[in-house]
Chains A and B, each alone.
Chain A
Amino acid sequence: AQSVTQPDIHITVSEGASLELRCNYSYGATPYLFWYVQSPGQGLQLLLKYFSGDTLVQGIKGFEAEFKRSQSSFNLRKPSVHWSDAAEYFCAVGMKTSYDKVIFGPGTSLSVIP
C-alpha cells in the first residue's frame, strides 16, 4: 500500500541555521511529490512539487527538495531558517488512480529558537 513517513515528529532549530526535513514514501510507480506548510489554525500552502525531470526542485520561501529514487526520499531543505518558518510541514505523495489521489504524511512540527 502507498504510504508516506516523516520520521521526525518535532524539530527545533536556531534562527539562521540550516534545516532538513525528512520524507520517505512507498509507492510502486514513479510518484509525484509535494511539500506543504501549515501555520497554526490555517490551511495548507504548497511549498513545492516534483513531477519529473530535475530531481532538485525549488519552491517558495527559499525552500528546496531533492527527489532520490534509490532512497524513496524527498527531503526538504532550507539553508537559513527564519523565525517565521515555524510551522507544521507535510510531505505528500500523489498518484493517478480513479482520481487525483494524494496521501499526506503525519507532519513534522518545526520550532525556531531566536
Chain B
Amino acid sequence: DGGITQSPKYLFRKEGQNVTLSCEQNLNHDAMYWYRQDPGQGLRLIYYSQIVNDFQKGDIAEGYSVSREKKESFPLTVTSAQKNPTAFYLCASSPRDRGGYTFGSGTRLTVV
C-alpha cells in the first residue's frame, strides 16, 4: 500500500547535536511538507518542497534544514541552532490536484 514512512518514531538528542528525521513516500506525490506540532499550538509549517532539488521556508524554518534529492524523500535536520526542538514532527505529501495531504505517523523528538 502507498503511504508515508517517518522514522524513527521516537528520537532522543543531546543539546548541541544535530539530528535528521527521515520521511519517505511512495505515493508519487510532487509536494512534501514538514510540520511541527506542539500542545495547544496546532501545526506549524517548517519547510515545503514542490519539486526535486527545490524547497522553500515555511513559518518557522529557523534552526532547521531540508533536502530534496529524490522525489520520494524529504529529510529534515534539526540543528543545534533550534532553541526548543522538543516536539512532534509530522511529514506530509500532496498531489498536484488539491487532493489533500497524506501524513506520516510522526517522529517525537526529545532533547535531553
Contacts and interface: CB of A to CB of B under 8 A. Distances in A.
Interface of A: 32, 34, 36, 41-46, 49, 51, 90, 94, 96, 98-100, 102, 104-107
A102 B94 CA distance: 10
A60 to B, nearest CB: 12
23 contacts: A32-B98, A41-B88, A41-B108, A42-B106, A43-B92, A43-B104, A43-B106, A44-B43, A45-B103, A46-B100, A49-B99, A51-B98, A94-B100, A96-B98, A99-B50, A99-B56, A100-B31, A100-B96, A100-B98, A105-B42, A106-B40, A106-B42, A107-B42
A99 B48 contact: yes
Contacts of B40: 106
Interface string B68-112: 000000000000000000001010101010111111111010000
Nearest to B106: A43
A49 B31 CA distance: 18
A45 B56 CA distance: 24
B41 interface: yes
Given A32-B98, A51-B98, A90-B42, A44 B103 contact: yes
Interface residues of B, number: 25
Nearest to A105: B42
Contacts of A96: 98
Interface of B: 4, 6, 31, 40-43, 48, 50, 56, 88, 90, 92, 94, 96, 98-106, 108
A106 B99 CA distance: 21
A16 B42 CA distance: 28
Nearest to B98: A32
- Most central of A32, A90, A102 by chain B CB within 10 Å: A102
A7 to B, nearest CB: 14
Given A41-B108, A99-B48, A107-B42, A49 B90 contact: no
B105 A46 contact: no
